[in-house]
Amino acid sequence: VCVTGAAGQIGYALLPHICSGRTFGPSTKIILHLLDIPRAQQALMGVKMELEDCGFDLLEEVVVTSDANVAFTGIDACIMLGAFPRGPGMERKDLLAKNCNIFKEQGRLLNEVASKNVKVVVVGNPANTNALVAQQCAPSIPKENFTALTRLDHNRAQSQIAMRLKVPSSAVENCTIWGNHSSTQYPDVSNSVVATAQGKQKVGDVIQNPGYLHGEFIKVVQQRGAAIINARKLSSAMSAAKAISDHMHDWVVGSNGKTVSMAVPSDGSYGIEKGLIYSFPVVCSAGKYTIVQNLKVDLFSRKMMDETMNELKQERDTALAFLNKDADTIARSKL
C-alpha cells in the first residue's frame, strides 16, 4: 500500500486505520510505502518509528522514500494524498496546471512499476481531475481502477440527516454525492431512507421540509470543509482519514449491499458524459464497484447533476490541453 503526501496530517490520521485492519480487512498483512517530498523525510521517519511502537500485528514493513519509483513498485493500492496546494491569488487553471504535471508523472510511474490491478484513490484536490490525468497516463491499468474521494462528502451528508432526525448515522441509507468534489457537488437524499420505529421511511417523508433538503442541507455539506478550516485553522484530517478508509474498505472488502458514493469513470449512466471521473452511488462487492441504476432523477436533481458535470468537463478540457501541449512540446523537441 502506497500513501503519497504521507507526512501530512491526513496521512498521520489514516495510517492506524490501515495498519489495524480496518481498511483492508482484519487478516490482510500490510507493507506500507510512505512517499513525500525530500524535506518531509525526517518527519516520515518519526511516523515510521511511531508505527513500530504501535506494534500492529498486520504491519510487516514500512518503506519511507521521496522516490516515487520506489514508492510505486509492486503496490496493490495507492492512496494519493499529495497534491500542489492552492495558494493566495492562484487561479483554478494554474492549480490544474501544477497538478497536471504531478499526476501525469505519477500516472506514468504507476503504469510502469505498480501492480497491473492497482486500486487508486485520489484525495489531493482537484481530486476528480487529478485522477483523470493519472488514468490517462497509465494505459495498461484498467480505467475503472482510478477513483477519487467523495466518501467524506457522503459521510457528512449522512451525518447531517442523522443529527437532524436524532438517529444514529447508520440508520440513514442511500445518501448520494453526485459529481465533483468541489462546491458544485450535489448531496442528494431524494432516494434515501431512515430506519424508524415504524420501519424504513423515505427521508423526505420524515423531514417534510423540501426547502431544507434543497437549500440549507446542500449548502452545509458543500461548505463543510471550509467551515472546519475556519474553526480549526486546518483542513479536515480525522474525518478525511475515516472516509478514505471507508472508501478503500468497501471497494476491496465490499459494502455489504449498502449504497455508497465514489467518484469513478462515468459509463454514461444518468446522462453523465462518458469518461469523466464523476461521483455516483455505487455498491461494492468482490473488489469491484457497480453504479446503482434506475434511481429517480427529478428536475431539481437533473439541474444540480448537470452543473457539477459541466464544471468537471471544463476541468478536464483544461487539464487535457496541458497534457496535449506537453506532448506537442516533446514531439517538436524530437524533430
Active-site residue list: 181
Q: Which three cell numbers stand for residue 107?
A: 500516472
Rounded Cα distance, 259 and 157, in Å: 13
Rounded Cα distance, 125 and 49, in Å: 29
Q: Which three cell numbers stand for residue 215?
A: 437549500
Q: Which backbone phi and psi does 275 adopt, to 5 degrees? A: 100, -25
Question: Among candidates 147, 99, 138, 139, which has minimal Cα distance to 119?
Answer: 147
| Nearby residues of 154 by Cβ (< 8 Å), 6 or more positions away | 175, 176, 177, 243, 260, 261
Q: DSSP 3-state assignment of 49?
A: helix
| Nearby residues of 91 by Cβ (< 8 Å), 6 or more positions away | none
Rounded Cα distance, 207 and 10, in Å: 34
